[in-house]
Structure 1
Amino acid sequence: MAARLPFIEVPLFPLGTVLYPGGQLQLRIFEPRYLDLVRECTRSGSAFGVCLILDGHEVGTPARPAAVGTLARITDFSHREDGLLGIATEGGERFRVQSTRVRADGLLRGEVELWPEEEVQQVPVEFALLQTILERLIETMGPHWQKAPRSAYDDAGWVGFRLAELLPLARDEQQQLLEMTDPIQRLGVLRDILPRFQKA
């Protein structure tokens, strides 16, 4: 049985979107609590947690986050035309929130248990159509993935997470796919969803 990974405490950033391992996420930072979060993570080189909002909003009163989220590591900064700070982040390990507390400034912090990375599994031949669809989606919607190595398309986890990012799924479906721990099963769910997007 695999050893349990440690519990860590991280600042949490509830958002109206799901971040997947290896995914890219651009954020606009303007609330003081999140400017503090960026300073903290930059100073220490640490990550923060991105969780889908289950109840509430991205601004104002702290929202209620989903129990499973993804660590985000800041990879770049920019000063936007609107004068706000922009950050680019990359998704890392998934985690499950065990407890949360709200700081005086409204920043949510969580004690989280890290999940182990999924084992790399080959995309089974019956899911070859998903590889083709992903290539087409990346051509039009995911230019940052166009330089991905061909070997990535053979990795069931990578294919599943990238499709989950690029397909117009409902938020609860995105969260369901994040929480799944079997990459082949995830591909099966995505295959079953695809007919919804076929043109009549």
Structure 2
Amino acid sequence: MGARLPVFPLETVLFPGLVLPLHIFEQRYLAMIRHLADLPEGTPREFGVVAIRSGGPAPVAGGPGAGTGGSGVAGPVEPDERSPSERSVAEPGGQASLVALHEIGCTAELRQVTELPDGRLDVVTVGRRRFRINDVAQESTPYLTAEVDWLPEPAGQEQAADQLAPRVLAVFRQYLTLVRDDPEEIAEQLPDDPTVLSHLVAATAALTLSDRQRLLATPDTAGRLRAELRLLNREAALLRQVRAVPVPLAELAVPLSPN
């Protein structure tokens, strides 16, 4: 069964269970957060985070764990020649350019709101559930809303996911030794649950936004873990290759500054 959600387009991909802090400064998204914060106790306080495929200007947001936000897009869906897996929305203020949104997103559950003296908001959100956008509209609100269908984890792939998880965990541990100063400390905190692991790897590995979006759109945990095995092996091989290339001393020399 579908639902209608406030939507926040960002240059990041959010996964269920991952933390996404945001710094909100634009009026329409301040209104969105305040609307959610004022909902009755027990009502889900969540909005949809959807990655921007192309167009601009766009807000800048870090991956889960760090980010900023506040500038976005708003307006009605415009017909275009793009694939069904994206939605295009007009920028506010009557501008002609379009911003294309990916079709698959993840809700962000509002966990903490801190109001700053100048009225801006620092918020902490946690990814909750995946969805597919059916329709985007700007109705009586200054921000986008979307009619969405929820994408629950399909049944029937549990055995395959259980078999893949230890392999992904082992490769991810090796990958962490190449990219982190304290890989052992991080590795001790890695989850055993295949679905949670698949979302953590997708969110924390140094992947492109396109790679992350494809992982978010993968319908089941087993498929996500298979894709992550390929991506982690690719990234680890590239890192080892870079480390194996000697750097000439001349390239390390820094010219003296007159200051």
**Given the superposition, is the C-alpha separation of residues 31 and 191 from structure 1 closer, same or farther in structure 2, using an over 3 Å criterion?**
same
Offset at 1:47? 1.0
Residues 168-179 of structure 1 mapped to structure 2, 5 A cutoff: 168-179=206-217
Offset at 1:66? 1.1
Gaps of 5+ in 1: 1-5
User: Is residue 123–residue 154 contact of structure 1 (8 Å, CA) maintained in 2?
Assistant: no
What residue is the counterpart of 1:196 in the other structure? 235
Per-residue CA distance 1:82-114 (angstroms, 9 max, x = gap): 873110000111000100112466411100111
Offset at 1:31? 0.7
Offset at 1:122? 2.2
Residues 124-143 of structure 1 mapped to structure 2, 5 A cutoff: 124=164, 125-130=166-171, 132-133=173-174, 140=182
Residue type of the alignment partner of 1:180: T
Looking at structure 2, the residues matched to 146 and 42 of structure 1 have their Cα atoms a distance apart, in angstroms, of 35
Residues 10-159 of structure 1 mapped to structure 2, 5 A cutoff: 10-44=5-39, 45=43, 46-55=45-54, 56=56, 57-58=58-59, 59=71, 61-62=73-74, 63-79=99-115, 84-103=120-139, 106-117=142-153, 121-124=161-164, 125-130=166-171, 132-133=173-174, 140=182, 153-159=191-197
SS of corresponding position for 1:97: strand
Per-residue CA distance 1:128-147 (angstroms, 9 max, x = gap): 41353487679859x9x889
Percent of residue pairs bearing the same amino acid type:
26
User: Is residue 153–residue 220 contact of structure 2 (8 Å, CA) maintained in 1?
Assistant: no
User: Is residue 28–residue 87 contact of structure 1 (8 Å, CA) maintained in 2?
Assistant: yes
**Given the superposition, is the C-alpha separation of residues 102 and 154 from structure 1 closer, same or farther in structure 2, using an over 3 Å criterion?**
same
Offset at 1:123? 4.7
**Given the superposition, is the C-alpha separation of residues 16 and 140 from structure 1 closer, same or farther in structure 2, using an over 3 Å criterion?**
farther
TM-score, normalised on structure 2?
0.64
SS of corresponding position for 1:17: coil
> 1 or 2, which has the higher strand percentage?
1
**Given the superposition, is the C-alpha separation of residues 134 and 49 from structure 1 closer, same or farther in structure 2, using an over 3 Å criterion?**
farther
Looking at structure 2, the residues matched to 48 and 174 of structure 1 have their Cα atoms a distance apart, in angstroms, of 19
**Given the superposition, is the C-alpha separation of residues 42 and 117 from structure 1 closer, same or farther in structure 2, using an over 3 Å criterion?**
farther
Query: 62-71 or 91-100: which moved more?
Result: 62-71
| Count of residues paired in the alignment | 190
User: Is residue 131–residue 159 contact of structure 1 (8 Å, CA) maintained in 2?
Assistant: no
TM-score, normalised on structure 1?
0.80
User: Is residue 8–residue 72 contact of structure 2 (8 Å, CA) maintained in 1?
Assistant: no
Report the structure number with the largest CA radius of gyration.
Answer: 2
Residue type of the alignment partner of 2:135: S
Looking at structure 2, the residues matched to 178 and 76 of structure 1 have their Cα atoms a distance apart, in angstroms, of 25
Residue 184 in structure 1 maps to residue 222 in structure 2: yes
Residue type of the alignment partner of 2:162: Q
